[in-house]
A and B are shown apart, each in its own frame.
Chain A
Amino acid sequence: MSGEHRVIGRRHRKVDGRAKATGRARYTADLSRPGMLHAKILRSPYAHARIRSIDTSAATVLDGVHAVITGADLPGTYGIIVWTRDESPLCVGTASYVGDGVAAVAAETPELAELACRRIKVDWEPLEPVLSFRDALEKPDVRVRPGNKHGNVTKRTTLSFGDVEGGLAAADVRVAGEYYFENTNHVSIEPHAALAEWDAGAGVLTLWSCTQVPHYLHRELARVLELPQSRIRVIQPAIGAGFGGKSEPFDLEFVVAKLAMETGRPVKLVYTREEVFLAHRGRHPTRMRFEIGARRDGTITAVRARNELDGGAYSSFGLVTTYYSGQLLTAPLGLGAYEFSSTRVFTNKPACGAKRGHGSVQPRFAFECLLDEVAEAIGMDPIELRRRGDIGGFTTTINGQRITSNGAVRCLDAVEAASGWKEKFRKLPRGRGIGVALSMYICGTNYPIYPNEMPQSGVAVKADRSGRVTVFCGASDIGQGSDTALAEIVAEVLGLELADVSVKTQDTDLCPVDLGSYSSRVTFMCGNAAIAAVEQIAALIRAHVAAAWGCGPDDVLLDGSRVIDRRDTSNSKSFAEAVWLAEAAEKRPLVATGGYTTPKLGGDYRGGTIGASPAYSFTVHVAEVTVDEATGFVTVDKVWAAHDCGKALNPTVVEGQIQGSVYMGLGEAMLEQQGYDEAGRLTCPNLVDYKVPTAADTPEIEALIIESGDPEGPFGAKEAGEGPLHPIIPAIANAIYDAVGIRLREIPFHPARVLAALEARRATEGTR
């Protein structure tokens, strides 16, 4: 497999591995600057309340307090989606959830800043809160976002493809169910952190932040701080993971910037764990009503879905989430007809946004569970059902999405063999079961978050006279290994060792724009941009070395950090010498840039570009479980996860993405729940009450890499960071059914819920 490549496809160490293994990697919270102050944010105790007045005098007078700001000091609005900028760094007039920022303090120590916050007097007028989807529709007079056009509805969309009524009528079997997907948080182990420094003389602001989207942050900072964007520099230190939880601007970034400008001193703020939960942007809790019609041969004749998304207090990514809740369900199984209607509402709770597998994890749960019911109803093996329904590669889905490479069937084959499926399905002893589910996901989207014609990813490559090559790119390595992927691509094309390549991805002063680490876009888009850039360097070197050697450029081989004459391999130069030669001939440094822009994609209808991606990844999971019928405890014993990533640039990294995705979905299936009480307070603002799986709760996860080789992916690669999360939840639900015969339609599968379902079934069986 890796025969044709020397770097790509091999299990190299990550370029940042050693720094992270030794504690030398510096994260934002690790930084300090001379004279640095610490900031804290005062947060609303009410889910919905008007601010009559704020008296900061008791805070300001404290010795050691340097500045106090309120919403009046930062009235500008921001938001990740440019059409729905509805957030302010600190509340202007009204607080919209328990934890909404109201005022902020910069002081000598974090403790003093907190004390000062407590001395700020806010005169509150509590308002009636909207705390549920139903509330949002039934209390139109209570407006979470008064400026919103349609009551508390953020976005409503209905898209219909084909004849759904006819498809359902033509079905041999129809299955339907109502499903609920709980609100969950990303829980990156690194809390959000930001540090700002203001150079008053130059009028330049430098902001360090563990953001996943430095470019969007850069834009929004300029807007809210009313500074030219050219006077702002955003730097990302090492990032302690994101999973979508750091993929939009947050209050702290504006607050430290403003406080630094006010005080003339560097200001840092690190969220507490509770603030991470309050900032949220996690999975939208979603109620889904699905109906599927199928023929006896397994053909899906029609699917109808109704999705209700509780979005929390702000728009966040909600516009996109609403579309994603329907748009990403149309492959790899072909649907005869499809209609979805999705409604997202505002409620007085922390805003929901993008979490790993943005928007499409919820409907996959419903759809793949119901497919299991279809399979049972027609007496077909659920793997076979999915195999037969696969639409194949290089085709178009019913909603107009262009599918290129498709390894879904190979994924099905792989997990079927690895898991011993045929010996286990419906054959394990009672209490043990096995289940399967399938999914697809995007490799970035052709929808740039703000309309523009510029490339979605830019890379610059510089070959130094030393022979060292530096890659510059605005991408954010949040742990997924994008820096390593960039280094591997450049090393591969130039025939270098990984150690010869330096990656600079942390600084808007240095790096061409990349839109950020979200939508699983980085490998595909930055990878292609990097290839475009580095191939120019390779071409220059080949051309000038060939001229010197009197051969054709194709006779010049780049390998082993050398240039080698293919005609006579004893004739070679070091790569550095080749750079000298090329630079002397060119009379300019060897620097090249490359960009990536998606081809024009998407269906020709409103919303048709949302979910349109240059390529799609495919995943199949099989989960094996044990259910204790007396207590309701479900143990996931083992997971087999096959993922079509196109081409594994680094198999170790890809396996890690698959395993981490399985784990994160497993946590949602089994334990995690971001709940609120009747007043809109978080019921789980810490890591005791919000339960993420420990190593002891996590099964062995076998990652199986499937390489379909995408014609447009860099070296054939597609994404691996989000797609592999989707199937685990329905796979576990289907395994529980195989084990004990109950259909769970609500996550998490807490033992109390499982036991209640078992008892309900026993009761109905008893009455039969």
Chain B
Amino acid sequence: MTTSRVHAARTLCTLRVNGQTHELALEPATTLLEALRDHLHLTGTKRGCDLGDCGACTVLVDGRPRLSCLTLALSVQGREILTVEGLEARGALSALQDSFDRLGAIQCGYCTPGMLMSATALLERNPHPTRAEIREGIAGNLCRCTGYQKIVEAIEDAAKAREDGGRP
């Protein structure tokens, strides 16, 4: 029997995602990306290369941006995982989501979830980034549609909105 993966032993695992606790039985080789998409059906987090080179799978783990395709789900048990599905608060877009939508930072939308997570982390640590700091802060997220221009402008706009007492 060569189909080791199909019948591989599973390990019980507790993941905290977007404030909710999920108990899963995972094979140890399961990445966080696979756990989110295939087990929790949170398909907002995207797979673009599966090798850590495109940033589409970026999520926040305890507030820090990480590549979920290069993270074992078992290694982030008990940590607070935030995905794009967790950015809205009671149906209201976050300031970044709103700026992205309003200012044309979203074209095909495939890089958007990862981009939003990197941008969220950026504004958490640096509420008033310069354009150069924004570009560096999202350099690990490839976008092929926008030329990054409107993404940079949207992040700048969201920083202002947060400053003006708007939503996080």
Q: A696 to B154: give the CA distance in the assembly, Å.
A: 16
| B residues 16-69 in Cβ contact with A at 8 Å | 37, 42-51, 53-54, 56
Interface-lining segment among A109-117, A248-256, A596-604, A740-748: A109-117
Q: Which residues of B contact A677 (CB under 8 A)?
A: none
Q: Which residues of A contact B3 (CB under 8 A)?
A: 62-64, 112, 115
Contact of A686 among B49, B85, B150 (CB under 8 A): B49
The answer to whether B147 and A701 touch across the interface, beta carbons within 8 angstroms, is yes
Q: A661 to B49: give the CA distance in the assembly, Å.
A: 22
Q: Does A27 contact B (CB under 8 A)?
A: yes
Q: A481 to B50: give the CA distance in the assembly, Å.
A: 27
In the complex formed, the residue of B with least CB distance to A19 is B109
Q: Which residues of A contact B56 (CB under 8 A)?
A: 189
Given contacts A187-B144, A695-B135, A700-B149, whether A109 and B6 have CB atoms under 8 Å apart is: yes
In the complex formed, the residue of A with least CB distance to B41 is A32
In the complex formed, the residue of A with least CB distance to B113 is A23
Q: Does B159 contact A (CB under 8 A)?
A: no
Q: How many residues of chain B have a CB within 8 Å of chain A?
A: 60
The answer to whether A273 and B5 touch across the interface, beta carbons within 8 angstroms, is no
The answer to whether B110 and A240 touch across the interface, beta carbons within 8 angstroms, is yes
Kindly name the residue among A24, A688, A692, A696 whose own CB sees the greatest number of chain B CB atoms within 10 A.
A696
The answer to whether A686 and B53 touch across the interface, beta carbons within 8 angstroms, is yes
Given contacts A62-B3, A189-B111, A652-B103, whether A695 and B148 have CB atoms under 8 Å apart is: yes
The answer to whether B139 and A186 touch across the interface, beta carbons within 8 angstroms, is no
The answer to whether A16 and B109 touch across the interface, beta carbons within 8 angstroms, is yes
Q: A11 to nearest B CB, angstroms?
A: 8
Q: Return the CB mask of A173-200 against B: 1 if under 8 Å, else 0.
A: 0000000000000111111000000000
Q: A25 to B44: give the CA distance in the assembly, Å.
A: 8
Interface-lining segment among B73-81, B94-102, B160-168: B94-102
Q: A491 to B144: give the CA distance in the assembly, Å.
A: 30
In the complex formed, the residue of B with least CB distance to A111 is B5
Q: Which residues of A contact B148 (CB under 8 A)?
A: 663, 695, 698
Q: B147 to nearest A CB, angstroms?
A: 3
Contact of A63 among B1, B51, B88 (CB under 8 A): B1
Q: Return the CB mask of A240-279 against B: 1 if under 8 Å, else 0.
A: 1101000000000000000000000000001011000000
The answer to whether B147 and A659 touch across the interface, beta carbons within 8 angstroms, is yes
Q: Return the CB mask of B125-168 against A: 1 if under 8 Å, else 0.
A: 00000010011101111111111111110000000000000000
Given contacts A686-B51, A687-B54, whether A23 and B149 have CB atoms under 8 Å apart is: no
In the complex formed, the residue of A with least CB distance to B88 is A22
Q: A619 to B84: give the CA distance in the assembly, Å.
A: 37
The answer to whether B149 and A20 touch across the interface, beta carbons within 8 angstroms, is no
Contact of A241 among B42, B98, B103, B144 (CB under 8 A): B144
Q: A190 to B142: give the CA distance in the assembly, Å.
A: 11
In the complex formed, the residue of B with least CB distance to A687 is B53
Q: A270 to B43: give the CA distance in the assembly, Å.
A: 14
In the complex formed, the residue of B with least CB distance to A667 is B144
Q: A238 to B97: give the CA distance in the assembly, Å.
A: 18
Q: Does A308 contact B (CB under 8 A)?
A: no
Q: Does B116 contact A (CB under 8 A)?
A: yes
| A residues 535-554 in Cβ contact with B at 8 Å | none
The answer to whether B93 and A22 touch across the interface, beta carbons within 8 angstroms, is yes
Q: Does B120 contact A (CB under 8 A)?
A: no
Q: A14 to B37: give the CA distance in the assembly, Å.
A: 26
In the complex formed, the residue of A with least CB distance to B86 is A23
Q: Which residues of A contact B54 (CB under 8 A)?
A: 189, 273, 687
The answer to whether A688 and B53 touch across the interface, beta carbons within 8 angstroms, is yes
Contact of B149 among A64, A688, A701 (CB under 8 A): A701
Q: Which residues of A contact B138 (CB under 8 A)?
A: 695
The answer to whether A23 and B43 touch across the interface, beta carbons within 8 angstroms, is yes
In the complex formed, the residue of A with least CB distance to B110 is A240
Q: A111 to B31: give the CA distance in the assembly, Å.
A: 14
Q: Return the CB mask of A16-46 against B: 1 if under 8 Å, else 0.
A: 1111111111110110000000000000000
Q: A550 to nearest B CB, angstroms?
A: 44
Q: Return the CB mask of A492-517 against B: 1 if under 8 Å, else 0.
A: 00000000000000000000000000
Q: Does B108 contact A (CB under 8 A)?
A: yes
The answer to whether B150 and A659 touch across the interface, beta carbons within 8 angstroms, is yes
Q: Which residues of B contact A17 (CB under 8 A)?
A: 100-102, 106
Q: Does A560 contact B (CB under 8 A)?
A: no
Q: A23 to B135: give the CA distance in the assembly, Å.
A: 23
Q: Does B11 contact A (CB under 8 A)?
A: no
In the complex formed, the residue of B with least CB distance to A273 is B49
A-B complex: 9 closest residue pairs judged by Cβ atoms: A23-B44, A479-B108, A20-B109, A663-B147, A240-B110, A687-B53, A23-B84, A30-B43, A479-B107
18 pairs, A vs B, C-beta closer than 8 Å: A13-B102, A14-B106, A17-B102, A19-B109, A20-B109, A108-B6, A111-B6, A112-B6, A189-B46, A191-B47, A239-B108, A240-B108, A273-B54, A652-B104, A656-B149, A695-B143, A695-B148, A696-B136
Interface residues of chain A, those whose CB is within 8 Å of chain B, are: 11, 13-14, 16-27, 29-30, 62-64, 108-109, 111-112, 115, 186-191, 238-241, 243, 270, 272-273, 478-481, 652-653, 655-656, 659-664, 666, 686-688, 692, 694-696, 698, 700-701, 703
**Given contact pairs A655-B150, A656-B146, A696-B139, a sample of 16 additional A-B residue pairs in the complex whose CB atoms are under 8 Å apart:** A13-B102, A17-B101, A17-B102, A20-B106, A21-B97, A22-B44, A23-B84, A23-B85, A111-B6, A240-B110, A653-B104, A655-B149, A656-B145, A662-B147, A686-B51, A695-B143
